């Protein structure tokens, strides 16, 4: 028979009453500090450490008046409150529809939203679902794309496996990999994304050392990468897939294409996804999100997944939550069908293009004369990667302290690298975000960074 209270064999007292206030010799003599015994934590929990994000939150809270170019948050003024309110009303006004939305949904996600997601991807890639080898059955709705990344790690990775990422890369995913005990191999980047010559050399080296079997996946943020803002070029996309196919010997090496920023393009035409070259739906997991192109508070993401990964992924997701928030999925589907989602993307493109241009112009004004200072010029997304050669931008360095004293916060570039123990990651760059900061703050933020830079180099 199931009972919520367990019974101590010696005393017949429920053990959930914890330690008695008065000595009671019917309890084992374990001493007064039994409550200080360490809990038996799992290995995974012991490997899981505080995210670097908390450093920024703490610092921002401790320093009011600070301009944060560090936060990965989105523009607040343009968040679509009216459109989301209208979508909620549309979903809930009709009793039957509202009751369905407020009921549990399925683990895989709302079929209508899965179809809409597939249509959006096909529209962006200029193809039909057959050409992608996919149907709505291959789409999974997740609680943000972050959940998808975590679930994939659960499904694919054991301690000692290798995951290849761009170097630098999205540091929150690094934390997931660390908690799974995975070794990260970083491949250098340039303005065209991951350097595929370097990737090929790394794969060859791993093969020579009999380590290729450990490589499970290659993770790329291929549109306006977090943190550099760089995009994988058109010609590298099919080549990346070819490389992965060439080096898949006994098991398929998967590509995780994290397209979190794809919709936020301000210059040029969209590029076909790597997924669009994977016409058998075997090699690429395509991860997207409504967080950046619509609103992070919706916390709704999606993935196109090869069928033999989908089933195990759904089993794990079933254990996590047996389905992302059903109401949110209905709201997002309504935003798409009502045209509000497309409208929001257009609005954001205007807003962020303006902010990106402003940030780049301010950087030019402040740092243009220094030959050893350079920065990325992203065609979309939310980030600029600023490199100050010869300056230590790490959190303990003099530049970080000077920036804090001037009242500006950035993400130290070294957070975005994983290096072998005992090595120091590259530490001359800063990730600057133009997502949250208002135009005036961007202007002042760069001026403050410049003053911090002058103070640092004058020492
Ligand atoms: C590259 C990248 N992937 C995934 C995510 C996760 O976003 P969400 O879980 O809100 O969809 C983020 C968030 O900043 C990101 O930058």
Most distant CA pair in the chain, distance: 79
Residues 416-455 have pLDDT tens digits of 999 998 999 999 999 999 999 999 999 999 999 999 999 9
Over residues 168-197, the mean pLDDT reads 97
- Shared domain check, 359 and 314: no
Taking the alpha carbons at both ends of the chain, their separation in whole angstroms is 73
Ligand 1 center from residue 210 Cα (angstroms): 34
The pair of three-digit structure tokens given for residue 295, joined into one six-digit string:
């609103």
Ligand 1 atom, smallest distance to 225 CA: 1
The predicted structure's pLDDT at residue 11:
34
- Assigned domain for 7 exists: no
Residues 6+ apart with CB under 8 A from 319: none
Whether 127 and 244 map to the same domain: the answer is yes
Ligand 1 nearest atom to the CA of residue 301, by list position: 11
Dist CA 384 CA 230 (whole Å): 9
Ligand 1 environment, Cβ below 6 A:
72, 144-146, 170, 221, 226, 258, 260, 289, 291, 296, 301
CATH number of the domain enclosing 68: 3.90.1150.10
What does each C-alpha distance from 415 to 107, 142, 174, 389, 426 come to in angstroms? 34, 26, 9, 17, 9
| Pair (86, 221) in one structural domain | yes
Instruction: Tell me, yes or no, whether 291 and 372 share the same domain.
Output: no
Residue 253, domain extent: 81-338
Residues 164 and 218 in one domain: yes
Domain count, the chain: 2
The residue ranking higher by pLDDT, 239 or 459, is: 239
Task: Calculate how far, in angstroms, residue 270's C-alpha sits from the geometric centre of ligand 1.
Answer: 20
Mean pLDDT along residues 30-38: 78
What average pLDDT does this structure show over 347-372?
A: 98
Clarify whether residues 210 and 235 are in a common domain: yes
CA atoms of 113 and 125, how far apart (whole Å): 18
371: Cα separation from own chain's centroid: 33
Task: Please give the distance, rounded to the nearest whole angstrom, from the Cα atom of residue 16 to the centre of ligand 1.
Answer: 40
Domain limit, last residue, from 277, 310, 338: 338
Residue in 291, 295, 303, 382 to alter for ligand 1 test, most ligand atoms within 8 A of Cβ: 291
Distance between Cα 192 and ligand 1 center (Å): 21
Residue 410 lies in a domain: yes
- 115: pLDDT strictly greater than 50: yes
Burial 220-253 (b: 16+ CB within 10 A, else e): bbbbbbbbbbbbbbeebbebbbebbeebeeeebb
Same-domain check for residues 59 and 103: no
* Confidence check: pLDDT of 182 > 60: yes
pLDDT above 90 covers a percentage of the chain that reads 86
Q: Which ligand 1 atom is nearest residue 145's CA?
A: 11
For the record, the structure tokens of 7 come out as 């019974």
85, two tokens: 């309110």
160 C-alpha to ligand 1 centroid (Å): 25
What value, to the nearest 5°, has the Cα angle with vertex 24 and ends 18 and 28? 70
Q: How confident is the model at residue 1 (pLDDT cuts 50, 70, 90)?
A: very low
Task: State the Cα–Cα distance between residues 425 and 418, nearest whole angstrom.
Answer: 7
**The pLDDT of residue 30 is above 80:** no
What pTM, to 2 d.p., does this model score? 0.92
| DSSP conformation letters of 104-131 | ---SS--HHHHHHHHHHHHHHHTS-HHH
Average pLDDT over residues 242-271: 97
What distance lies between CA 402 and its chain's CA centroid? 29
């Amino acid at each position: 028979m199931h009972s919520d209270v367990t019974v101590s064999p010696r005393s017949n007292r429920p053990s959930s009453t914890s330690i008695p206030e008065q000595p009671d010799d019917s309890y084992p003599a374990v001493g007064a500090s039994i409550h200080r015994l360490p809990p038996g934590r799992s290995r995974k929990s012991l490997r899981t450490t505080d995210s670097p994000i908390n450093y920024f939150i703490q610092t921002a809270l401790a320093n009011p008046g600070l301009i944060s170019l560090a936060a990965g948050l989105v523009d607040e003024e343009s968040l679509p409150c009216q459109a989301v309110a209208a979508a909620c009303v549309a979903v809930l006004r009709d009793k039957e529809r509202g009751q369905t939305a407020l009921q549990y949904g399925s683990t895989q996600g709302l079929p209508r939203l899965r179809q809409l997601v597939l249509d959006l991807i096909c529209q962006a890639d200029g193809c039909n679902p057959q050409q992608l080898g996919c149907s709505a059955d291959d789409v999974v709705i997740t609680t943000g794309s972050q959940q998808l990344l975590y679930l994939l790690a659960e499904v694919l990775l054991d301690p000692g496996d290798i995951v290849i990422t761009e170097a630098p890369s999205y540091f929150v995913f690094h934390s997931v990999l660390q908690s799974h005990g995975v070794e990260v191999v970083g491949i250098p980047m340039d303005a065209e994304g991951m350097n595929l010559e370097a990737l090929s050399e790394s794969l060859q080296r791993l093969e020579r050392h009999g380590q290729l079997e450990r490589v499970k996946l290659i993770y790329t943020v291929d549109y306006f990468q977090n943190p550099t803002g760089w995009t994988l070029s058109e010609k590298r996309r099919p080549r990346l897939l070819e490389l992965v196919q060439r080096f898949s010997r006994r098991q398929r090496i998967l590509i995780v294409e994290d397209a979190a920023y794809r919709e936020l393009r301000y210059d040029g035409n969209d590029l076909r996804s790597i997924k669009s070259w994977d016409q058998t739906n075997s090699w690429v997991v395509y991860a997207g999100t409504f967080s950046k192109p619509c609103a992070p508070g919706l916390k709704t993401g999606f993935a196109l997944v090869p069928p033999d990964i989908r089933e195990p992924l759904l089993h794990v997701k079933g254990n996590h939550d047996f389905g992302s928030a059903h109401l949110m999925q209905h709201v997002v589907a309504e935003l798409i069908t009502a045209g509000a989602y497309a409208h929001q993307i257009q609005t954001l493109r205007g807003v962020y293009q303006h902010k990106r241009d402003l940030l780049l112009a301010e950087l030019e004004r402040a740092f243009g004369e220094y030959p050893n200072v350079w920065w990325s010029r992203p065609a979309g997304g939310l980030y600029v990667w600023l490199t100050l050669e010869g300056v230590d931008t790490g959190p303990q360095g003099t530049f970080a302290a000077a920036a804090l004293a001037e009242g500006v916060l950035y993400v130290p570039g070294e957070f975005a690298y994983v290096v072998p123990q005992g090595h120091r990651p590259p530490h001359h760059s800063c990730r600057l975000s133009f997502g949250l900061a208002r135009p005036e703050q961007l202007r002042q933020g760069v001026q403050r960074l410049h003053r911090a830079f002058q103070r640092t180099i004058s020492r």
